Amino acid sequence: MTQADLTVLAEHLSNIPYFAPLSSGERHALAARAGFYTFAADEVIFLEGEKHSSLWIIEDGSVKIAKLSPEGSEYILHLLGPGGVFNDVAALDGGPTPANAIAMTLVTVWSLSPALVREVIERHPAVAQAAIETLTGRVRALNRQLEDLTLYPVLVRLARFLIAQAEDPSLSGPGITRAAIAGHLNTTPETISRVLAKLQDAGAIRFDRHRILITDRDMLRSIAAL
Amino acid sequence: MNTRWKPVINQKLCTGCGACIEQCPENALGQIAGKAIVLAPETCTYCAQCETLCPTRAIALPYLIMYAAPSSASDSTSR
Ligand code: SF4
Ligand code: SF4
* Domain regions of chain A by residue span: 3-126, 152-223
Handedness of CA B53, B55, B58, B62 (dihedral sign): positive
**Same topology for domains A3-126 and A152-223, yes or no?**
no
Query: CB distance from A209 to chain B under 8 Å?
Result: yes
Cβ–ligand 1 distance for B54 under 6 Å, the answer: yes
Confidence (pLDDT) at A52: 83
CA-based angle A36:A123:A95, to the nearest 5? 60
Whether the CB-CB separation of B39 and B30 falls below 8 Å is answered with yes
Cβ–ligand 1 distance for B29 under 6 Å, the answer: no
Weakest mean pLDDT among A85-89, A179-183, B74-78: B74-78
Has residue B74 been placed in a domain? Answer: no
Query: CB distance from A175 to chain B under 8 Å?
Result: yes
Judged against a pLDDT cut of 60, whether residue A131 lies above it is answered with yes
Range of the domain at B34: 1-57
Is B52 in contact with A209 (Cβ distance < 8 A)? no
Judged against a pLDDT cut of 90, whether residue A137 lies above it is answered with no
CATH of the domain at B14: 3.30.70.20
Pick the CATH number of A152-223 from 3.40.980.10, 3.30.70.20, 3.30.390.30, 1.10.10.10: 1.10.10.10
pLDDT, tens digit (0-9, with 9 covering 90-100), for A50-67: 988 899 999 899 999 998
Whether the CB-CB separation of A111 and A9 falls below 8 Å is answered with no
Contacts of A189 in chain B (CB under 8 A): 51, 57, 60
Mutate to test the interface with B, among A178, A192, A193, A219 (most CBs of B within 10 A): A178
Judged against a pLDDT cut of 70, whether residue A2 lies above it is answered with no
Confidence (pLDDT) at B72: 46
How long, in residues, is chain B? Answer: 79
Confidence (pLDDT) at B78: 37
Has residue B70 been placed in a domain? Answer: no
Residue range A22-40: average pLDDT? 90
Residue range A195-199: average pLDDT? 93
pTM recorded for the entire structure = 0.59
3-state secondary structure of A184: helix
Cβ–ligand 2 distance for B28 under 6 Å, the answer: yes
Task: Give dist(CA A155, CA A147) in Å, integer.
Answer: 12
Has residue B9 been placed in a domain? Answer: yes
Closest of A76, A36, A81, A44 to residue A60, by C-alpha: A81
Task: Give dist(CA A175, CA A195) in Å, integer.
Answer: 19
Residue range A117-140: average pLDDT? 88
Task: For domain A3-126, say whether CATH 3.40.50.2300 is its number.
Answer: no
Cβ–ligand 2 distance for B14 under 6 Å, the answer: no
**pLDDT under 50 in chain B at which residues?**
72-79
Residue range A155-159: average pLDDT? 93
